[in-house]
Structure 1
Amino acid sequence: MDLRTSDGSESRFSAFVEGLVSVIGHADRARPLFDYCIGLIMPGERKSVEPMAAVTAPDRTAAQHQSLLHFVGQSPWSDEGVLAKVGEMVLPAIERHGPIEAWIIDDTGFPKKGAHSVGVARQYCGQLGKQDNCQVAVSLSLANHHASLPAMYRLYLPQEWAADKKRRRKAGVPKEISFKTKPEIALEQIDAACRAGLPRGVVLMDAGYGCNTDLRTSISALALTYVAGILPNTTVWTSDTAPLPPKKWSGKGRPPKLLRRDHKHQPISVKELALCLPKRVWRTIKWREGAAERLSSRFARARVCVAHRDYQLTESRPEEWLLIEWPEGEDEPTKYWLSTLPETITFGRLVELTKLRWRIERDYQDLKQEVGLGHFEGRGWRGFHHHATLCIAAYGFLVSERETIPPSESRSTRPFKKLEVPNGYRPRGSAAATRTSHPELDRDDAAKTDRCHRPEHLTLSLLHPADEAPSFVTQ
């Protein structure tokens, strides 16, 4: 199953797939694994099963279609095991450019029609920028300034789905899966990454996760630092203010232990605090090279204690950084973050790490545009996760290949060497028809593919240059 090219791509790709074969389980899964990965990394408008079957086995498309459907939708191989192996093979290539600096938590949506695909519901979809019918998945990516790689990935199952036994059974949702909020899923992923011994970094998250006090507290309990986006109405105590201590004990009953507030001792919103800061504390800071010039904006920072429901506590929460961004020309600040990074961290380094969260936008842009993360047309839990796992594997291979491309060449004129399927290569199922699986897994219409012409050469999909910012924003 080797791919023949002049630059060594065939041996690197074959070695990569063989590494996945070592954790995929049954030997019969090696061929569909190879074919599925080939289908994902080759250029094409649609990376769903039918067009990939037509490209990888044009002479036996129907048998190949069933083989790939069964492999992605039914085979009981471990997503966690494959993702761990991908990390083992790809992280060294990323770390050659510097240590892992961040764990980035985020979620992404996939527009979906109908009501039967697992987890589909009317909810916010970042790809559309509004509420609509979609599926949403939560992920944890490991990143440095060179690249990033998703290490954890799980579908968010809305409450109406988690409570519907009939729909759960039809979609194959495992019995142990119960309703969990997105922050709860994120915390499970962070805890799993800690237990797996993955190289640690500061946890980066937007306000969708950062506003969750329990999540921030739990991250600190795992001995991790974070930079968490928050909303303007988040309340804090400054160094000049503090809640009142517990009342003096009268000698009767239990001694009072809870913090107090009165009309003179009230926390302040981070927006109000930002608007009151003197001009001298604002600094213009540059953090990385953009497409045309080095990116910069205006920031201020202050030491604060979060006030969220601390009247239920016996002591104030630990002091941490509040970082505020107020770009020139804007009427008011645009972004706010809380961070447990060390008090001694420089202003520039704090901004640099905060802004590293853009890497998750790159993850999702390349995963969706180059390897078809959102192209799965099945309905089941297992198929949804298997397809995503293989997309992450393909993305990981392309990340490791990125450094073989001369930086002077543009994305559009910088092809990988062509990959040619060798003579004699026959996909699994060519000798005899594979057992029919479930055609409803790929029910949606796929892009039309010419099945009569076998392409002489195949080319790899391309990722964006490492320093190119994404052109859209996920949720």
Structure 2
Amino acid sequence: MIVDQTEYETAAACMVAAGELTREYQDELLGRVGWVFARREPRLQAGKYVRALTAEVPRKNGWQIAEWAGDATPDKTQRLLNHAVWDEKAVMGVVAGFVAEYLGAEADPLAVVVLDESGQEKKGESTCGVKRQYVGCAGRVSNAVNIVYATLATVRGHALAGARPYLPREWAEDQRRRARAGVPERVVFKTKPALAVDLLTDLHTARLLPPWATGDEVYGRDKDLRDFCEQHSMGYVFGVPCSFTVTLTSGRRVRADQALKLVPPKAWNRASCGAGSKGDRTYGWAWIATCSDRHHLLVRRNPTDPTDVAFFYAYAPDGRPATLPVLVSVAGRRWPVEEDFQVGKDQFGLDHSQVRLYTALLRHLVLAMLALAACAVTAAAMRVLSNTAAAAPTHPDDEPPEDPGLIPLTVAEVKRLANMLTRTGQRPAHHLRWSWWRRRHQARARWFHHRNRLRRSLQPARM
């Protein structure tokens, strides 16, 4: 296919601008956190660490980061994580403020904080918090540590804004293990929902608490977490298990799956909970009233498989509209945290740390979140300018466009472009050409995914 040179040059200029903007945001963030370091040396080393996390380092551990940074030994990197004097929680607060500011959380009435946990598989028994436990990213019980995260999602984009390592009870009650792992005295055993409350408390203290929260069943069934949200006038749409009980308007208390049996066929509504890479995520939704006019039970049903259902418990504070489109939109904003996990681990080494101490683990997470935030904000800022993708099909028989265009710049692509400005050995034009090709290929694939979704929507549902 012959490529129009003017089109390519325009796209290349946009991509170069994205790479430069990422560097500017990264420098701004590092400047904002400079005050937390007691000495100049760890502050400069933190800058090297963040740039290494953004670079094409195969395995982002202390040894390879030190090699990339030009250090003779990994001692400086290990000292930064283990012993240097700096406030990692303050850095996390700066990152959260940066994300909220540039993603426009204050101006978005549907801004959401998404709560979820993700694991890091480990070997041995010395890493702080490690034990055999279920790890969602691996889909099995494995030797791992778990981290509870908070993602801030707005209409402009999303990024990680908080993290807390999960310390199992057997670790919290074993003084020898605590001493070896350097666990601070203030850190005690807390459930994952309790750690989520801590994350929300930090956001509330910094006046960054968004109007809505969402999460899966682990968080939805915890009453303390729901009470915290309600006490701070924060709406929520949490996933809940089928055994979750609600009180109906009749005063009868039933399980969620029993309430589902009371829903008549005509009560289902088709609604999209957000746009995905393969089209709108459209489901059937049932809204079940409870004895409280501010609390609601939502049921989501797969349109192609009526037996595939999920339950959500929702709360809308006084003065905030409680409509089905609003609640469905909030529920749909839970997916960004999964994308942040994938991009954070694959691109920024969120789970690459080879540390044992509690403080070192938290510091690595904070610096990885900082690197991710700079690229995520750049992708959000460039989304409109960089999006030239052809309009999605409207009919299953539509013919593919001659020019599929380019998808918006993703966080991973922004990271590659930032590296292009410092990469040696090949001309920038080579990397720009590959970036252009990837985005064009993805735009074409996305168009066909949308058309296939339209064709499947015309097929009868399986009973």
* Structure 2 length-normalised TM: 0.77
Q: Hey, what's the Cα distance between the residues in 2 that align with 1:163 and 1:396? A: 35
Question: Equivalences for 1:262-411 in 2 at 5 Å?
Answer: 267-305=253-291, 320-341=295-316, 344-402=321-379, 403-404=381-382, 406-408=386-388, 409=406
* Cα pair distance change 1:218/1:17, threshold 3 Å: closer
Q: Which residue of 2 aligns with 1:419?
A: 421
SS in 1 for 2:33: helix
Structure 1 residue 349 displacement after superposition = 1.8
Q: Hey, what's the Cα distance between the residues in 2 that align with 1:201 and 1:455? A: 48
Q: Hey, what's the Cα distance between the residues in 1 that align with 2:281 and 2:213? A: 22
Q: Hey, what's the Cα distance between the residues in 1 that align with 2:170 and 2:105? A: 45
Q: Hey, what's the Cα distance between the residues in 2 that align with 1:345 and 1:96? A: 20
Structure 1 residue 55 displacement after superposition = 1.7
Question: Equivalences for 1:15-54 in 2 at 5 Å?
Answer: 15-54=28-67
Q: Hey, what's the Cα distance between the residues in 2 that align with 1:396 and 1:104? A: 16
Structure 1 residue 48 displacement after superposition = 1.0
Q: Which residue of 1 aligns with 2:27?
A: 14
SS in 2 for 1:200: coil
Structure 1 residue 13 displacement after superposition = 3.3
Residues 114, 215 of structure 2: 8 Å contact kept: yes
Residues 24, 77 of structure 1: 8 Å contact kept: yes
Question: Equivalences for 1:104-123 in 2 at 5 Å?
Answer: 104-123=114-133
Residues 130, 144 of structure 2: 8 Å contact kept: yes
Q: More helix by proportion, 1 or 2?
A: 2
5+ residue gaps, structure 2, are: 1-15, 389-405, 447-463
Structure 1 residue 318 displacement after superposition = 7.2
Q: Hey, what's the Cα distance between the residues in 2 that align with 1:340 and 1:165? A: 41
Residues 191, 222 of structure 1: 8 Å contact kept: no
Q: Which residue of 1 aligns with 2:99?
A: 90
Residues 10, 419 of structure 1: 8 Å contact kept: no
Q: Which residue of 2 aligns with 1:61?
A: 72
Residues 154, 385 of structure 1: 8 Å contact kept: yes
Provide the alpha-carbon RMSD of the alignment: 3.0
Worse-matched range after superposition: 151-160 or 43-52: 43-52
Worse-matched range after superposition: 388-397 or 328-337: 328-337
SS in 1 for 2:302: coil
Q: Which residue of 2 aligns with 1:188?
A: 198
Q: Bigger relative contact order, structure 1 or 2, given CA contacts below 8 A and separation 6+?
A: 1
SS in 2 for 1:33: helix
Residues 419, 457 of structure 1: 8 Å contact kept: no
Max Rg structure: 1
Residue type of the alignment partner of 2:347:
E
* Cα pair distance change 1:11/1:326, threshold 3 Å: closer
CA deviation vs aligned residue, 1:438-475 (integer Å, no higher than 9, x gap): xxxxxxxxxxxxxxxx8789999x9x99x999xxxxxx
Q: Which residue of 2 aligns with 1:139?
A: 149
Structure 1 residue 166 displacement after superposition = 0.7
Structure 1 residue 8 displacement after superposition = 5.6
Question: How many residues are aligned here?
Answer: 392
Residue type of the alignment partner of 1:320:
H
Percent of aligned pairs with the same residue? 22
Q: Hey, what's the Cα distance between the residues in 2 that align with 1:319 and 1:89? A: 32
SS in 2 for 1:416: helix
Q: Which residue of 2 aligns with 1:81?
A: 90
Residues 145, 356 of structure 1: 8 Å contact kept: no
Residues 274, 333 of structure 1: 8 Å contact kept: no
Structure 1 residue 112 displacement after superposition = 1.0
SS in 2 for 1:393: helix
Worse-matched range after superposition: 84-93 or 148-157: 84-93
Worse-matched range after superposition: 6-15 or 346-355: 6-15
